[in-house]
Amino acid sequence: MGYIAIRGGERAIAASESILEALRCGIFQADPQSEPLTVTAIRDQLHLLTDRICSEGGLYHPDLAALAAKQAAGDTLEASFILRAYRATRPRLGETTPLDGAAMRPLRRISAAFKDLPGGQILGPTTDYLQRLFRYELLDEDPDSFHRAGARWFADTPAAQAESFPKVVELLRAEGLLPPPNANPPAPVDITRQPLTFPAPRSAALAAMARGETGSLLAIAYSAMRGWGYLHPTVAELRYGFIPVMWPHPLTGEPMEIGEIAVTECEIITMYDRGAEEGARPVFGLGYGACFGHNEVKAISIAMLDRSLQNGRNHGATVPAEDDEFVLLHVDGVDAMGFCSHYKMPHYVTFQSDLDRLRATRAAAQAPQAPQAKEATP
Amino acid sequence: MIAAAITRVATAPVPLLPRPTHHFGFLDDFAKKEIRRAVLKAICLPGHQVPYSSREMPIARGFGTGGLQLTLSLIGAGDVVKVIDQGSDESVNAVNLRDFIGKVAPGVTTTTATAEASIIQSRHRIPELPLRENQILILQVPYPCPLMIVEPSERVRRRMHAEVDYARLWVKLYEDLVRFQEISISNRYPARVHGRYVMDPSPIPRWDLPKMHQSKALILLGAGREKKIYAVPPYTEVEPLQFDDIPFQVERFQTADGRRIPCVRCGANDSFLDEIPQAAGPAIHQCSDLDWCLARAAATAGAQR
């Protein structure tokens, strides 16, 4: 009777890495001559993938996000994890002034609430009205037409755009249909430097959702949309574009633009809030969502959940989407995928304890008797 | 024909990306400082779960990131680190964590010998060899709260801890006795620390729980995903929840006729065993603590020689 293998963990890991690498290089595929993906091609052509990785990784760095996508062979959870782990080692050097959504240079800006509005509706890039039919010509795309497509869009697009795009919510606020913004908002919580505790401040909730996993946010938000909640939402405004990042000048302290980041931003309006105080006149409810890159499903889901969580905070949670613990502790993809994967690790010891308990319980069930003193701890 | 590859396009090339060399211990000093402060607080309030921000590590959540952050914020040159998983230094996850620690903490040596280690990071086991005062045991924790089995909401659980309200745990134990004539909690057996907080001792078997009581070594517990740190300081009372007439009991490794099963490798009859089913015949058992078992087997072989 032999002993079980007790060595070899290190070799097994090395061998596993080696086959993973072979798979990433397409070694088992039909075309052994396929060329490596360039990080530039991933960043530029699979931009929604890199956007999602930036967003869920919690770091706006499209180049590193593209590298993560390549390294993870397209797995968004794994790629976001790589970016997040890198981010965790970076010190926090300071704080930008709050980014101003109204200052966005929009590629897309729509409102489902009003037919027309100051600044106008800009449909921009959206898959919403595409007929989802295969474009078989992309199977064998020739580089010339590929490059011409970009040039054509530039040639066809007028340079002039409206100068400013006021926020739809400001129009509603002007009429008193939405409560005014908090004049003295509390300092925002940095969830990467302070533990998330409950009840979670709204800033912490929005930050946690901003780097939440798209599918998880969608699932819980969808539950509230379907009826596990009372939202009755209207998308007041959805924008995608570039927001300037302002940084205080090191000498003068004056905010100055140091660059811009791509952001999707959404405000939803709900029917209608009872008002924080007894006897107050009814107003619409507002939900806000924003995330890095172009990800409309995520921004809308966050906005829905922001509203649901505020309802839960004000009136007590009655459905899962209104419970901040339930929502915020279950939407983080990096946490959830890690814990899900950990069940694959050895659990010999705990299972041995389980066996011990079940056998003891079964033995006790065979000979029914009142509980009595058992042997003491050795 | 399907195009062979994605064509290279003439857009802005990716700039030279950062290729950082890592800080000693991987974590930056801000992170280490926060963790050390949480550790000090945890030692002052034995068994109390101290929240901390918990950085993402390059190891997945659930694989020991809480323990790893504790280890990396405590080690310095001259430390000797041992990492075990399921009692084994050779388990794939232990190998991986040890390799990572060695990589990011140059000057730190690693060992498999319990006696030689100054810091022992472990998942699911406490070594059989009694620990000493100048050793620190770091346990990886998936669920930091013992009340999780009776209450899902953290907010409610924190209030229960504050009010020393452990009634529902006692009821759970009592209901087990009524339904099964046995307490069904197999591992993670709740224990009261220093007469105050009830603690989840991490998924160690009940076998290991008495080792926490009056332990000479400092025991730190880290839950990375759940973002909590707690501690059992040296020489602290750790008392499993038990009724006066139904004492706490550890796992029994006995044959049908009540004899203690020995380890097939070293012959020990006083260690926690792994049960390994065989294609034919009864299962074999051997020590879960690999270092303990190999040392004992070597000593036996030496004595016979």
Q: What is the DSSP secondary-structure string of B111-165?
A: -S-GGG-SEEEEES---SSPP-TT-EEEEE-S---GGGGT---HHHHHHHHHTT-
Q: CB distance from A151 to chain B under 8 Å?
A: no
Counting Cβ atoms within 10 Å, is residue B184 exposed (0-12), middle (13-18) or buried (19+)? middle
pLDDT surpassing 80 at residue A372: no
Tell me if B18 is assigned to some domain: no
Token pair listed for B257: 């006729």
- Return the minimum-mean-pLDDT range out of A6-10, A46-50, A213-217: A6-10
ipTM of the complex: 0.85
Q: Letter for the amino acid at A7?
A: R
- Whether the predicted pLDDT of A378 surpasses 50: no
User: Does residue B14 belong to any structural domain of this protein?
Assistant: no
Q: Which uninterrupted H or E stretch holds B230? A: strand B228-232
Percent of chain A with pLDDT over 70: 91
Residue B64, in any domain of the structure = yes
Confidence class of residue B16 from pLDDT cuts 50, 70 and 90? low
User: Cβ B227–A195 below 8 Å, yes or no?
Assistant: yes
Which comes out higher in pLDDT, residue B254 or B220? B220
Using the Cβ of B96 and the Cβ atoms of chain A, whether some distance falls under 8 Å is answered with yes
For A143, the 3-state DSSP assignment is helix
Are residues B305 and B171 part of one domain?
A: no
Decide if B105 is inside a domain.
yes
Query: Is residue B15 in a domain?
Result: no
Closest CA to A356 of B207, B82, B159: B207
CB count within 10 Å of CB B208 equals 28
A143 and B9 in contact by Cβ < 8 A? yes
Task: Give the gyration radius of chain B's Cα atoms.
Answer: 22
pLDDT at A273 over 60: yes
pLDDT exceeds cutoff 50 at A319: yes
Q: What single-letter DSSP state applies at residue A127?
A: S
Q: Which domain holds residue B259?
A: 252-305
| Chain B interface includes A371 (CB < 8 A) | yes
> Which residue in B has a C-alpha nearest to residue A136's C-alpha?
B2
What's residue B20's pLDDT? Answer: 62
Kindly state the DSSP code that residue A53 receives in the 8-state scheme: H
- Does residue A283 sit in helix, strand or coil? strand
Say whether both B225 and B281 belong to one domain.
Answer: no
Mean pLDDT of B85-110: 92
**CB proximity B262 to A under 8 Å:** no
**CB < 8 Å to A337, chain B:** 60-61
pLDDT at B150 over 70: yes
Indicate whether B178 and B289 sit together in one domain: no
pLDDT at B107 over 60: yes
- What distance in Å separates the CA atoms of residue B200 and residue B193, rounded to the nearest whole number? 10
Q: Is A270 left (phi over 0), alpha (psi -120 to 50) or beta?
A: beta
Does B185 contact A357 at a Cβ distance shorter than 8 Å? yes
B109 and B256 share one domain: no
Dist. CA B305–CA B299, nearest whole Å: 10
Residues of B forming the active site: 47, 263, 266, 287, 293
Q: Is the pLDDT of residue A103 over 80?
A: yes
> Which uninterrupted H or E stretch holds B43?
helix B29-44
- Triad A73, B85, B289: Cα angle to 5°: 155
Report the CATH number that the domain containing residue B85 is assigned in CATH: 3.40.50.11310
- For residues B66 and B183, state if they share a domain: yes
In whole numbers, what is the pLDDT of chain B averaged over residues? Answer: 91
Residue B194 shares a structural domain with residue B87: yes
Same domain? For B127 and B223 the reply is: yes
The reply to whether B160 and B271 lie within a common domain is no
Q: How many angstroms separate the Cα of A138 from the Cα of each of A131, A141, B184?
A: 16, 5, 60
- The rounded distance, in Å, linking the Cα atoms of B39 and B50 is 8
Are the beta carbons of A34 and B13 separated by less than 8 Å?
Answer: no
Average pLDDT over residues A290-299: 98
Structure tokens at B198: 């009830």
Does A134 score more than 50 pLDDT?
yes
- Are B192 and B239 in contact by the 8 Å Cβ rule? The answer is yes
Element (H, E) at B240: strand B238-240
Q: What mean pLDDT do residues B119-134 have?
A: 97
Of B216, B240, B264, at which residue does a domain stop?
B240
How much is the pLDDT for A274? 61
- How many domains are there within chain B? 2
User: pLDDT tens digit string along A39-65?
Assistant: 999 999 999 999 999 999 999 999 999
B254-273 pLDDT, tens digit per residue, is 988 889 999 999 999 999 99
Average pLDDT over residues B22-51: 94
